Structure 1
Amino acid sequence: MESLNINNEKIAQHIVQWLKKYAENAHVKGFVIGISGGIDSALTSTLCAMTGLPTLCVEMPIHQAESHVSRAQEHIAFLRSKFDNVSSDKADLTSTFDLLATTLPDIDDKVKLNLTLANTRARLRMTTLYYFAGNHQLLVAGTGNKVEDFGVGFFTKYGDGGVDISPIADLMKSEVRSLANHLGITQNIIKAKPTDGLFGDDRSDEDQLGANYDELEAAMMAYDSGKTAADFEGRELDVFNIYSRLHAVNQHKMQPIPVCEIPKEYK
C-alpha cells in the first residue's frame, strides 16, 4: 500500500516549518534523534536536518545486529554529506544494559523477562537521548508513526515513547515510505523489514504484531470509519481482530496519564 496521492513536498515543508517554529518558541537550539537504521528515524532526522537548526544523530547500540548498525551509519553519512548542521555521536549502551540486567532479579517466565528487558533497552536509550538534549539544549524528536503511536501502541512507554515532539506521528507507514522516497533516503533503509531491534535477534515488527504495517493501516482506517469484525472474513478478519485487540489493550500508552481528582469539598 502506497499513498501516491499525497503532496510530499507540501507535507515536508509543513513539518519542517512546524519543527522550526516549535524549537524557536521553546528557546532551544535544535534536535536530537536516536538513529536505528530504520525508515522512521531516517525520515525524522532528515526533516529535522532540513530546518537548518543543529541536528544531532545518536547511535545507541545494545547487542545490535550488524545490519542495523550499518544502515544507521549509512544514513548518518547521507545526512552529513547533505547538511552542514548535522552532527553525530555514539553511546554504546551494551555494557550498561548488561550490568543493569545482572543487578535485577531473574524470573522464571522467560517470555515476560525478555519483553521486560526489551523495554528496558528502550528506556535506557530515552535516558541517553535526554542526556544529549540537556547538554546541547536540544529537543528529543520522536520517530513513531501514526499506526504505532495511535493505532496499535507499538512503542515502549517512557522509552521510544518518551519524547518532546512527534514530527511524523500523523503519517501512516505508507506515507512515511512515500515521503522518505521523495526526500532521497536510501532504498536500503526504505526497503528494510521494520524492526524495533530490542531483542538482540532478527525478529521483525510483523513477527511481534502478527500483521504487517500495510495490513494494520487498512485495519486502522476501517476501525476509525466504524466498521466491525462482522464486516470482514479470512485474513482481513484476523488482522482486524489483531488491530482491535492491540488498540484496546494499549490505550494506557495513548491516553494522558490518569489523574485522581480530589473533590473540592475534601480540600
Structure 2
Amino acid sequence: AQQGLTPVLCTQTAGGVTESEYVDLLLEQQVAGVVFAGGAYAQRDADHAHYDRLAARNLPVVLINAAIDDLPFPRVVCDDADAMEQAAEHLLALGHERIGLVLGPRDHVPSERKLAAFQAVCERAGVPFDDALVVRSLYSLQSGQASAARLIEQGATGILCASDPLALGAVRAVRRARLSTPGDVSVIGYDDSAFMASADPPLTTIRQPIEAMGRAAVDFLVSQIDGTLGPVDELLFEPELVVRRSTGAARHRAKS
C-alpha cells in the first residue's frame, strides 16, 4: 500500500481454493505481481505448472523462503541452515546427544536444508546421527504431538521442531508421557510466533526477521514491476535463537 499498490490476500484452507486456482483468478484480474508466502514451490514433488504459467507471462513474482531450483523467481529466505546450527549447538552445549527432529515432508526444501545442517553439526561435534530420530510431519500442533511422542519413545532428550505449533505439540507430548519440559525433554520451535513467550513453559525458538523479509519481498516485487531489478536468486536473512525456558541441561533417559 505504501508503494501505491492495492494488496489482495489469498489464503488457503483444507478443501478450499487451490493455489493453482488462485493463480488463474489473479491472472484474470490482471494483477501487477504476486508474492508467495508459502506454496508448492517449496516441495520438489508437487505440481508446479501454475508457476510455469506465471513465468510464461513474465509476471513479477517473489517467493518467501526456500524453493526448488527450477523456478526463475527471486526468493527472500530465512537461512534454514544457520537456524538449525544455532538450535542444535544450543542443545549440544546443554549436554543433549539424542536430539530428535520434527521436519516437513521429505521433498520439502527448507526441511532438506535443516536436516543437512543438523547432520553437519553432529559430524563436527562427534555426535552420532540417528535417522530414527528424524520424523516427517504436517505443520500442525496435533502432528507435532504425534511426532514428538515417537521421538520420546526413541529416548530423545531434545526435540528441534520446524515450526512453533509443532513445538507446542511436542511439549504436549512430553506431558502426556508424564515427563517435563525442560526437565526431561527440551523443545525448540521455529518462527517466534505471537505469544510464544507466554507459552507454558515459554518456548525457546528461532526468530525469523519477518518485517525485514516482508519489506525485501515488496521491494523485489516493485523493482520487477518497474523493470529495475537486476539478477537476484536468493536473498538470505539471518535468524536469531531466542532462548526461553523450554530448554535446559540434558537428563539422560533410556528408550521406552
Q: Same fold (TM over 0.5)?
A: no
* Higher strand residue share: 2
Normalization by structure 1: what TM-score? 0.30
Normalization by structure 2: what TM-score? 0.31
